Amino acid sequence: MTLLELKEGDTAVISRVSGGKGVSARMAGLGLHAGKKVRVVRAAPFRGPLLIEDISSGARTMIGRGIASHVEILNEKR
Amino acid sequence: MWKSLTKNDNSEMVIALAGQPNCGKSTIFNAVAGFKVNTGNFSGTTVSYTETEVYIGGRTVRLIDLPGTYSISANDVAERVARDYLLSGQVDVIINVVDSSLLSRSLELTLQLMEMNVPMVIGLNMIDDAQKKGMEIDIPALTSLTGLEAYPLIAVQGSGVHELFDAALKVSENSFHRVPPVYDRDVEECIARIEARYPSTLKERLRVDTRFVIIRLLEMDEEFEKLVSEVDGDFLEYVVENRRFLAEVHDWPESGVFASHRHALVLDLFEQVVAVRSRTGTSLSEKIDRFVINPVGGLAATVGVFFLMFAVSFWFGNLIAGLVEAPLESLGAFLMSHTSGYTAMLVSGVYDGFTAGVGIVLPYLVPLLVILSLLEDTGLLPRIAFMADGLLHRFGLHGKSVVPIIMGYGCNVPAIMAARNLEYERDRIITMLMVPFIACSARTVIILALAGKYLGAGYTTLIYLGNIAIALGVSSVFSRLSADVSPGIIMDVPPLRKPYLHVVMRKVWVRIQEFLLFAWPVIAISSIALAVFSYVGIDDVINRVLSPITTFILGLPSDLGITLFLGIFRKELTLIMLNSALNTTDVSTVLSSAQLLVLVVFTVLYIPCVATISTLWKEGGLKVALLSIALNTSIALVVAGSLAFLL
Ligand SMILES: Nc1nc2c(ncn2[C@@H]2O[C@H](COP(=O)(O)OP(=O)(O)OP(=O)(O)O)[C@@H](O)[C@H]2O)c(=O)[nH]1
Ligand SMILES: [Mg+2]
């Protein structure tokens, strides 16, 4: 399952970031590593990015849908 | 390349501010050096380094403000600037600035910087935000675990900055005792194996901490790999073997396996130094944020901001321009009646330049700058990027280009530089070609003072919308021409912050100063030049050369040729020289409404100004600069020409 399949308000744990070295390095830089628990705060209109919150720090990052589809996640729950 | 990471001579001490984006490095720099660099509540405000001499603790030191970088392995042009500077071997002391409210993320870079083994202290900035989040940072524990001294700061209020710099000066004088990060046993064994084979030739070539070099290689740092392969290819192969082994054992991609171990260290460190109390209530800024990131609220906020930006500038500009008109005119009349001949020519030149600044440019410029500064400081820019990303995708761009585009309404030069934050070359080039179409403050003054005043709000809005449509069209065409597609946006969204009046005022003042010191003299000299030209008759020559464009294509009086020509140097000049070129005080008596519209549209679109062209050249190369000139000029001719033909 990927981040893209989550709905607003859902939480999940990142299990793997694929999609090339650049993308995973950027994600890691923003603190979005495997093992991190995140929440989808909002999905932007017009198929825009997802606003993701790192639950432990409260830091927010927007991630385009193309990239979100490369972020694998575990155990989704509401 | 990197002979050593620190220099060994006794020249002036160099202190560099390094940290992740948006942690407050530039704010600290300004607190010490006076307002010299721009600040803003979004990642990537600073894209090039700035150095200045400051006098602290009884000595002169060279202080460097660097762009933010998430890690030493830079991912975009701005981050590369920071990396290259840190690795240049010029830095004596690093002040690692961190956003305390994001301490766990920030420590990832801290550990990487520690691996460089350069004297370093930590500035725990934004301690106010950390407290709001209920975080308590055990600073003595942080110091004992890392060996680095750390100081709490609220840079934007200037508190804690002195203590931090005192410590930075001391750490360079006394010996520096960091506690180097120690990784898992198998990682340490891997490093030890490699260290045992570390060639002495490499030690001579790269007088950098060997452990640092090994870690860079384990992180697949291409630049280090290339350097090492030039010295000893076999050694590099041995490192790669070990790296693969490590990746296999941990079932992790080769490029990320080392970082994942560092991440584990960071989590551990974070847990030992931070206690989080549960917090209560929602702050006002969070409530506003909830509204702004809603589709409806976000759209309303975005449209509202743009409306405000131009409406307030227009309203305020007209008000002030109207107030100063009469006194300026009587001053002019007084000057004219007391001078004659050559002196009259000189005096009228200076007078025109002065009037233009006070009576035309500044009244519209100041409110625009205030609103743009508020946009930067509150953190609305990333939120507009969030809202606009989906739409921009239809034009082949993504939301990150919003920052350069909106900055372009102030001035195209920093806007083109801001494209350095885009990770992909393709996005960067397209954004750079798009920005010169954005009506910068100089062109906004022209739009407001001509279209706003004589044609009304409807036409003015149409001009802005048409302008954006053309810019998006350009992006759309170029993205179709380019073979690769952009992977999309990843961008930090910092909390909304209240703007500080003193910051906004300083930012606006710096821009006005730039106008007074550089633009105003240019305007005054051009006014005098125009007076001399018309006296000697050179303006006729220029006007005649340009008349195929001015009269034939655009249907304007040929006298405007010289003003359009001068506009290439500073866009304001077109407007300012208008009255003297047409020999009138009210252009609407000479030009019809249709002609005014054509003139405004052409001025907004044609050749970027000299400063913009040279920035395009520096940032994108000669080809991009030439392409931009050709593109802007041809589109201006087609659009304004068709308007002239149709109206
Ligand atoms: N609440 C709070 N805000 C701060 C503090 N210090 C700086 N800021 C604000 O944080 C924002 C970022 O500051 P900058 O100085 O531009 O950050 P930077 O590290 O230079 O950022 P980049 O150039 O993008 O890497 C600005 O809006 C500052 O006004 C602080 O101590 N507390
Ligand atoms: Mg900065």
Verify whether ligand 1 is closer than 6 Å to residue B38 (CB atom).
no
For residue A10, give every residue at least 6 positions away whose Cβ sits within 8 Å of its Cβ, in sequence order, or none: A39, A40, A76, A77, A78
Residues with CB under 5 A from ligand 2 (ion): B 26, 45-46
Average pLDDT over residues B566-588: 84
Which ligand does the CA of B39 lie closest to? 1
Verify whether ligand 1 is closer than 6 Å to residue B499 (CB atom).
no
Average pLDDT over residues B536-564: 89
Residue type, A75: N
The whole-angstrom distance between B578's CA and the closest CA on chain A is 44
C-beta atoms of B391 and A58 within 8 A: no
Residue count (chain B): 647
Please tell me the distance from the alpha carbon of residue B512 to that of residue B140, in angstroms, as a whole number: 45
Verify whether ligand 1 is closer than 6 Å to residue B40 (CB atom).
yes
pLDDT(B503) > 80: yes
Please tell me the distance from the alpha carbon of residue B594 to that of residue B614, in angstroms, as a whole number: 33
C-beta atoms of A41 and B75 within 8 A: no
Distance B39 CA to ligand 1 centre (A): 6
Average pLDDT over residues B571-599: 87
Average pLDDT over residues B555-583: 87
Which of B22, B38, B417, B421 gets mutated to test ligand 1 (max ligand atoms within 8 A of its CB)? B22
- pLDDT for res B7: 54
- pLDDT for res A17: 87
When the pLDDT of each residue in chain A is averaged and rounded to a whole number, the result is 89
Q: For residue B55, with 0-12 CB atoms within 10 Å meaning exposed, 13-18 middle and 19 or more buried, which class applies?
A: exposed
Verify whether ligand 1 is closer than 6 Å to residue B160 (CB atom).
no
Q: Please give the number of the atom of ligand 1 that sits closest to the Cα of B377.
A: 27
Average pLDDT over residues B353-360: 81
pLDDT(B3) > 60: no
Are A54 and A36 contacting, i.e. CB atoms less than 8 angstroms apart? yes
pLDDT(B2) > 60: no
- Bridge partners (DSSP) of residue A60 are A53, B493
- pLDDT for res B5: 59
Average pLDDT over residues B393-399: 90
Residue count (chain A): 78
- Bridge partners (DSSP) of residue A2 are A72
| Residue B6 binned pLDDT confidence (cut-offs 50, 70, 90) | low
Distance of CA B510 to the CA centre of its chain: 15
Are B211 and B115 contacting, i.e. CB atoms less than 8 angstroms apart? yes
Compare CB distances from A42 to B20, B73, B293 and report the shortest one's residue.
Answer: B293
The whole-angstrom distance between B104's CA and the closest CA on chain A is 8
pLDDT digits (tens, 9 = 90+) for B242-256: 999 999 999 888 888
Verify whether ligand 1 is closer than 6 Å to residue B504 (CB atom).
no
Compare CB distances from A58 to B20, B133, B263 and report the shortest one's residue.
Answer: B133
Distance B381 CA to ligand 1 centre (A): 14
Average pLDDT over residues B315-324: 89
Pick the range with the lowest mean pLDDT from B110-124, B131-145, B371-385, B507-521. B507-521
- Bridge partners (DSSP) of residue A11 are A39, A77
More confident residue, B146 or B579: B146
Closest residue in chain A to residue B135, using alpha carbons only: A57
Average pLDDT over residues B474-499: 90
| Residue B575 binned pLDDT confidence (cut-offs 50, 70, 90) | confident
Residue with CA closest to ligand 1 atom 30 = B126
Verify whether ligand 1 is closer than 6 Å to residue B125 (CB atom).
yes
| Residue A22 binned pLDDT confidence (cut-offs 50, 70, 90) | confident
pLDDT(B1) > 50: no
Please tell me the distance from the alpha carbon of residue A33 to that of residue A25, in angstroms, as a whole number: 9
Please tell me the distance from the alpha carbon of residue B32 to that of residue A55, in angstroms, as a whole number: 35
The whole-angstrom distance between B390's CA and the closest CA on chain A is 4
Are B400 and B417 contacting, i.e. CB atoms less than 8 angstroms apart? no
For B284-333, give the DSSP string: HHHHHHHHHTSHHHHHHHHHHHHHHHHHHHHHHHHHHHHHHHHHHHHHHH
Taking the model in full, what pTM does it have? 0.92
Q: What percent of chain B clears pLDDT 70, i.e. is strictly above it?
A: 98
Distance B557 CA to ligand 2 centre (A): 47
C-beta atoms of A25 and B71 within 8 A: yes
Compare CB distances from B493 to A33, A48, A51 and report the shortest one's residue.
Answer: A51
The whole-angstrom distance between B176's CA and the closest CA on chain A is 27
Q: Which domains does chain B have, with CATH numbers?
A: 13-173 (3.40.50.300), 185-276 (1.10.287), 295-516 (no CATH), 520-646 (no CATH)
Which of B17, B26, B106 gets mutated to test ligand 1 (max ligand atoms within 8 A of its CB)? B26
Please tell me the distance from the alpha carbon of residue B228 to that of residue B239, in angstroms, as a whole number: 10
- pLDDT for res B4: 54
DSSP B565: H
Closest residue in chain B to residue A20, using alpha carbons only: B255
- pLDDT for res B517: 85
Please tell me the distance from the alpha carbon of residue B232 to that of residue B198, in angstroms, as a whole number: 10
The whole-angstrom distance between A77's CA and the closest CA on chain B is 22
Compare CB distances from B256 to A19, A28, A56 and report the shortest one's residue.
Answer: A28
Please tell me the distance from the alpha carbon of residue A74 to that of residue B593, in angstroms, as a whole number: 64
Cβ–Cβ contact A5 with B under 8 A: no
pLDDT(B338) > 50: yes
Please tell me the distance from the alpha carbon of residue B112 to that of residue B183, in angstroms, as a whole number: 13
Radius of gyration of chain A (CA): 11
Closest residue in chain A to residue B69, using alpha carbons only: A29
pLDDT(B373) > 50: yes
- Please name the fold of domain A3-75: SH3 type barrels. (2.30.30)
Verify whether ligand 1 is closer than 6 Å to residue B208 (CB atom).
no
ipTM score: 0.95
Distance B360 CA to ligand 2 centre (A): 32
Verify whether ligand 1 is closer than 6 Å to residue B156 (CB atom).
yes
| Residue B437 binned pLDDT confidence (cut-offs 50, 70, 90) | very high
Q: Which residues on chain B are in Cβ contact (under 8 Å) with A61?
A: 490-493
Please tell me the distance from the alpha carbon of residue B285 to that of residue A10, in angstroms, as a whole number: 23
pLDDT(B499) > 80: yes
Pick the range with the lowest mean pLDDT from A59-63, B352-356, B545-549. B352-356
| Residue B10 binned pLDDT confidence (cut-offs 50, 70, 90) | low
C-beta atoms of A62 and B399 within 8 A: yes
| Residue B501 binned pLDDT confidence (cut-offs 50, 70, 90) | very high
Cβ–Cβ contact A25 with B under 8 A: yes
Q: Which of B386, B403, B486 to mutate to test the interface with A (most CBs of A within 10 A)?
A: B386
pLDDT digits (tens, 9 = 90+) for B191-218: 999 999 999 999 888 878 899 999 999 9
pLDDT digits (tens, 9 = 90+) for B595-619: 999 999 999 999 899 999 999 999 9
Q: Please give the number of the atom of ligand 1 that sits closest to the Cα of B39.
A: 16
C-beta atoms of A61 and B492 within 8 A: yes
CA torsion through residues B246, B249, B254, B258, sign: negative
Distances in whole angstroms, Cα of residue B148 to Cα of each of B15, B117, B123, B398: 16, 11, 10, 40
When the pLDDT of each residue in chain B is averaged and rounded to a whole number, the result is 91
Average pLDDT over residues B266-273: 95
Please tell me the distance from the alpha carbon of residue B631 to that of residue B157, in angstroms, as a whole number: 46
- pLDDT for res B129: 93
Q: Which residues on chain A are in Cβ contact (under 8 Å) with B263?
A: 28, 33
More confident residue, B69 or B177: B69
Are B33 and B67 contacting, i.e. CB atoms less than 8 angstroms apart? no
